[in-house]
A and B are shown apart, each in its own frame.
Chain A
Amino acid sequence: MTRPAPGWADHPAALALAGRHRPRAWEPIPWILALAFYFVFPKHLGFGTEVLVTILFAISLDLVLGYAGIVTLGQAAFFGAGAYTVGMLAKHGIWNEPITGLILAALVAAAVGFGSGLVLLRTQGLTLLMLTLCTMALLEEAANLAHDYTGGFDGLDSLPIAPLFGRFEFNPLYPKTQYLYVLAVLFLCFVFVRTLVYSPFGQSLTGIRENMLRMHAVGAPVRRRLVLCYTLSAAIAGAAGGIWAQANAYVNLGTLGLDRAATVLIILVLGGYGRLYGAFIGAIAYMALSHFLSKVYPTAWQLGLGFLLVVIALFARNGILGIAEAAMRRFQSVRAPS
């Protein structure tokens, strides 16, 4: 084996690779803004909570889609599994403590993800797409059929969720507790995902996305990695669903539907997938736009959304963050020669 040249560790490429995972100076900004929102807009905390939950859900999708490259249309299956876990446990008076309830929701969703991932991830392409779609549709039908437990089409409402730490009430009309609770859970999950994608495990996921054949050839346990990634992503999506059910005190079939799965996909792509913060940008942009437009001009909103998707797919494959990065690079390359 040849020895690397002395001083190799000081090479810019080596430094860049070794420092990839370190927090950047700007990374606290989103969290400070989220906290500031709590104090500045106390009247809009319901909307803020919805945005935070959406970010969490989009991050779960980013893990499978952006990093492992699994194109799924059925991510809402796990969101719904988590939401119904919380909903059914609370409604039937079995368990209503929020934090343990949330962990249970994540575990149930992870179990669904593990079970389906184990069989689905043997396939690729259109077949995989169809299988994720059918799995979600199957769960939706099951929830519709078992209306004695799930409330069927009407869902379950006025869930009796216990106060957080036994002290802080969840008030659906004035969701102060919910906002901070969701923010804390989002932060924990984000730190986990961030650590994961920069770990060797995360690197191997990127390798699988870029060239699955080569990863097989170098001896990486491709399927095991994919199933593990799918399971973790399902757990996070389940937590997002569970926390959504706790914050709103209801669940319905919409948590399992194609609408929700397609929306989160759009959000992630709008922000830019495979880059962690795309979920934040996409969720905020989409939710703000839909908040103001979709109620006033629902049809024009759908038309504009469709147009946006077509444009993104054709011209801006990396979303808003991708455009911003390209602009930054151009700006720097203009300045560099001087």
Chain B
Amino acid sequence: MIFGVDVASMLLGGVAAGMVLFIVSVGLSVTMGLMGFVNLAHGGFAMLGGYAIALAMRHWGIGFVAALVFGFVVTAAVSAVLERLLYARLYGASELDQVLFTIGLVFMTIASVTLVIGPENQPLALPRILQGQVNLGFTHYRTYSIVLIVIGIVIVGGLWLAFERTRMGAQIRAAVDNRRMAESLGINIARLFTLTFAFGSGMAALGGGLGAEFLGLDPQYALKYLVYFLIVVAVGGLGRVTGVFYAALLIGVLDFVLKKYMPQGGTAFIYGLTILLLLWRPQGLFGAKSA
């Protein structure tokens, strides 16, 4: 019985971390799937959002939820401007140019955040309701983790509905599967992409704010977790919301369990597993064959 409770609480922690991974990575997956753009600056948007949220709460004294909305809007606006001005010039370019461009953006983000705000970790104080423990019947567990899981489920449900049931979702799915065909049917890909890009970056900002509690928030954030976000996208498959969701949960739980039982080699295990998986299925676990 004690063992069962242990397993359950470990799973809950891993699932909560996985939800944050999902919220950050889902935008990356869709933009990569839509335009084939290798956007290594995505972690930078998550970091920017996290900073906006933490600073707004500290300096303006606004609530957590209001700050999350603020972070989403600011990051989405910034990324939309960047997309129109700079990203759009590189859609036809080689992968190498895209990689260089986005690495350059990451460097600039890290440096400007260090210059303007400072190199130290920014604490993000959760509201009192979210601190402490909640009684789940069989065990007590951290309220915030449960809240994260609920938020994650709501978001994945909402995104799934938006993807499967709305006109725009259908357009995105069509464009991911076959961009040329979608374009010849009159779908305005450029506009669609700007909107998805901005929305995806906004989601990353939410993830940056929601995850700041255990991922921290310092200028190196943009590079430190980038490999994790990329692994989630590569494993989940490009442009698949549900694929990214399962992949994020898988990586979140694996990471949590391995950190507990193999604190030394846990990360190596995840890298090794990713290599094997991508060799077996280059398009990711849930990706379409032709991706």
Q: Is the CB of B282 within 8 A of A138?
A: no
Q: Is the CB of A141 within 8 A of B271?
A: yes
* 5 A–B contacts, CB within 8 A, in A order: A141-B265, A142-B268, A306-B105, A306-B106, A309-B107
Q: Is the CB of A314 within 8 A of B90?
A: yes
CA distance A305 to B100 in the complex (A): 11
Q: Is the CB of A71 within 8 A of B275?
A: no
Q: Is A313 an interface residue (CB 8 A)?
A: yes
Q: Which residue of A lies closest to B272 (CB)?
A: A138
Q: Is the CB of B103 within 8 A of A134?
A: no
Q: Is the CB of B105 within 8 A of A131?
A: no
Q: Is B131 an interface residue (CB 8 A)?
A: no
Q: Is B183 an interface residue (CB 8 A)?
A: no
Q: Please give the number of chain A residues whose Cβ is less than 8 angstroms from any Cβ of chain B in the complex.
A: 41
Q: Is B89 an interface residue (CB 8 A)?
A: yes
Q: Is the CB of B90 within 8 A of A134?
A: no
Q: Is B115 an interface residue (CB 8 A)?
A: yes
Q: Is B178 an interface residue (CB 8 A)?
A: no
Q: Is the CB of B101 within 8 A of A310?
A: yes
Q: Is the CB of B101 within 8 A of A313?
A: yes
How many residues of B sit at the interface, in one of the four size bands?
Answer: 35 or more
Q: Is the CB of A307 within 8 A of B231?
A: no
**Cβ-neighbour of B104 out of A130, A134, A137, A310 (below 8 A):** A310
Q: Give min CB distance, B259 to chain A, whole Å.
A: 13
Q: Give min CB distance, A63 to chain B, whole Å.
A: 15
The stretch from A191-199, A219-227, A244-252, A296-304 touching chain B is A296-304
The stretch from A52-60, A118-126, A167-175, A321-329 touching chain B is A118-126
Q: Is the CB of B111 within 8 A of A299?
A: yes
Q: Is A133 an interface residue (CB 8 A)?
A: yes
Q: Which residues of A contact B114 (CB under 8 A)?
A: 299, 302
Q: Is the CB of B103 within 8 A of A262?
A: yes
Q: Which residues of B contact A265 (CB under 8 A)?
A: 99-100
Q: Is B264 an interface residue (CB 8 A)?
A: yes
Q: Is A135 an interface residue (CB 8 A)?
A: yes
Q: Is the CB of A303 within 8 A of B111?
A: yes
Beyond A127-B282, A142-B268, whether A134 also contacts B274 by CB under 8 A is: yes
Encode B19-49 as 1/0 by CB contact (under 8 A) with A: 0000000000000100010100000000000
Q: Is the CB of A309 within 8 A of B267?
A: no
Q: Is A253 an interface residue (CB 8 A)?
A: no
Q: Is B86 an interface residue (CB 8 A)?
A: yes
Q: Is the CB of A310 within 8 A of B38?
A: no
Beyond A141-B265, A299-B111, A310-B86, whether A126 also contacts B38 by CB under 8 A is: yes
CA distance A313 to B98 in the complex (A): 7
CA distance A134 to B275 in the complex (A): 7
Beyond A126-B234, A126-B238, whether A309 also contacts B279 by CB under 8 A is: no
CA distance A332 to B167 in the complex (A): 56
Q: Give min CB distance, B141 to chain A, whole Å.
A: 31
Beyond A123-B282, A307-B104, A314-B101, whether A129 also contacts B95 by CB under 8 A is: yes
CA distance A141 to B271 in the complex (A): 9
Q: Which residues of B contact A129 (CB under 8 A)?
A: 38, 95, 99
Q: Is A260 an interface residue (CB 8 A)?
A: no
Q: Is B170 an interface residue (CB 8 A)?
A: no
CA distance A269 to B264 in the complex (A): 36
Encode B260-282 as 1/0 by CB contact (under 8 A) with A: 00001101100110110011001
Encode B108-126 as 1/0 by CB contact (under 8 A) with A: 1111101100000000000
Q: Is the CB of B96 within 8 A of A131?
A: no
CA distance A305 to B109 in the complex (A): 11
**Cβ-neighbour of A306 out of B94, B104, B231 (below 8 A):** B104
Beyond A135-B275, A141-B265, whether A309 also contacts B101 by CB under 8 A is: yes
Q: Which residues of A contact B93 (CB under 8 A)?
A: 313, 317
Q: Give min CB distance, B127 to chain A, whole Å.
A: 33
Pick the most buried of B89, B99, B231, B265: most chain A CB atoms within 10 A of its CB.
B99
Q: Which residue of A lies closest to B98 (CB)?
A: A313
Beyond A126-B234, A127-B234, A317-B97, whether A141 also contacts B267 by CB under 8 A is: yes
Encode A118-161 as 1/0 by CB contact (under 8 A) with B: 01101101110111011101100110010000000000000000
